Amino acid sequence: MSDHGRRILDHLRAVDAELVAQGFPAISAWWWSTLERFYLSGRRTLVLRVGRRGGKSSTLCRVAVVEALFGEHHIPPGDVGTVPIVSTSRDEAAARLRTIEAILRALGVDFRKAGEAIELQRDDGTPVAFKVFAASISGVSGFTAIAAICDEVAKWADRDTGANPAKEVLASLRPTMATQPRARLFLSSSPLSTLDAHYEAFEQGETAVQCVANAPTWIANPSISEHDTRALEPDARVWAREYRAIPQAAIAAAFDPDDVDRAMARVRRYGTFGEPVMVLDPSAGRGDSFAFGTVFWARPDATPRNREIITADGTRIVARDEHGNIIYEPASTDAAPVLTFAEVDAIDGPFADSLPAGQLVRHLAQLCRARRIRKVLSDQKDEYALSAEFERVGLSFTSFAWTNANKVTAVSRLRKMMRDGTLALPRDEALRRELHAYSEKLTPSGAITYSARGSGKDDRVATLITAVIADVEGQLPSSPIQKPRGCIESGAGWCSRP
- 3-state class (DSSP) for residue 15: helix
- Specify the domain boundaries for CATH 3.30.420.240 within the chain: 257-302+332-472
CB within 8 Å of 404: residues ≥ 6 apart: 447, 448, 449
Residues 130, 107: contact at Cβ < 8 Å? Answer: no
In terms of Cα–Cα distance, which of 333, 329, 393 is closest to 359? 393
In terms of Cα–Cα distance, which of 438, 292, 428, 283 is closest to 349? 283
User: CATH classification of 257-302+332-472 is 3.40.640.10, yes or no?
Assistant: no
Residues 148, 158: contact at Cβ < 8 Å? Answer: no
DSSP for 380-423 reads: STTHHHHHHHHHHTT-EEEEE---HHHHHHHHHHHHHHHHHT-E
- The rounded Cα 402 to chain-centroid distance in angstroms is 17
Phi-psi region of 54 (alpha: psi -120 to 50; beta: other; left: phi over 0): alpha
Distance CA 153, CA 167 (A): 10
Find the length of the chain: 498
Pairing of the two strands 81-87 and 147-151:
parallel
pLDDT at 256: 87
How buried is residue 40: exposed, middle or buried, by Cβ count under 10 Å (0-12/13-18/19+)?
middle
Please list the pLDDT of the chain residue by residue as tens digits (498 residues).
Answer: 578 899 999 999 999 999 999 999 999 999 999 999 999 999 999 999 999 999 999 999 999 999 999 999 999 999 999 999 999 888 888 899 999 999 999 999 999 998 889 999 998 889 999 999 888 767 688 899 999 999 999 888 766 666 778 888 899 999 999 999 999 999 999 998 887 889 899 999 999 999 999 999 999 999 999 999 999 998 888 899 999 999 887 677 889 888 999 899 876 666 667 899 999 998 877 777 889 999 999 887 666 566 667 666 667 777 777 777 777 666 555 568 899 999 999 988 777 777 888 888 999 999 999 999 999 999 888 787 888 899 999 999 999 988 888 999 999 999 999 988 899 999 999 999 999 989 888 776 677 888 887 677 899 999 999 999 999 989 998 888 764 444 433 333 334 433
- CA 200, 204, 207, 211 torsion-angle sign: positive
Cβ-based neighbour number of residue 453 at 10 Å: 13
Which stretches of 152-229 are assigned E, i.e. beta strand? 184-189, 210-215
Distance CA 91, CA 62 (A): 19
Residues 478, 273: contact at Cβ < 8 Å? Answer: yes
pLDDT at 486: 44
pLDDT at 223: 96
CB within 8 Å of 470: residues ≥ 6 apart: 277, 279, 377, 398, 400, 476
Q: Please name every residue paired with 188 in a beta bridge, in sequence order, or none if there are none.
A: 48, 151
Phi-psi region of 108 (alpha: psi -120 to 50; beta: other; left: phi over 0): left
Residues 192, 446: contact at Cβ < 8 Å? Answer: yes
Distance CA 264, CA 277 (A): 20
Distance CA 65, CA 376 (A): 59
What is the H or E stretch that residue 481 is in?
Answer: none
Distance CA 180, CA 81 (A): 10
Phi and psi at residue 212, to the nearest 5°: -130, 150
CB within 8 Å of 341: residues ≥ 6 apart: 293, 294, 295, 424, 425, 426, 463, 464, 467
pLDDT at 243: 95
- Specify the domain boundaries for CATH 3.40.50.300 within the chain: 3-224
Residues 63, 147: contact at Cβ < 8 Å? Answer: yes
Q: Which fold has domain 3-224?
A: Rossmann fold (3.40.50)
- 3-state class (DSSP) for residue 38: helix
- The rounded Cα 436 to chain-centroid distance in angstroms is 21
Residues 251, 433: contact at Cβ < 8 Å? Answer: no
How buried is residue 459: exposed, middle or buried, by Cβ count under 10 Å (0-12/13-18/19+)?
buried
Longest dimension (CA), the chain: 102
pLDDT at 484: 41
pLDDT at 402: 87
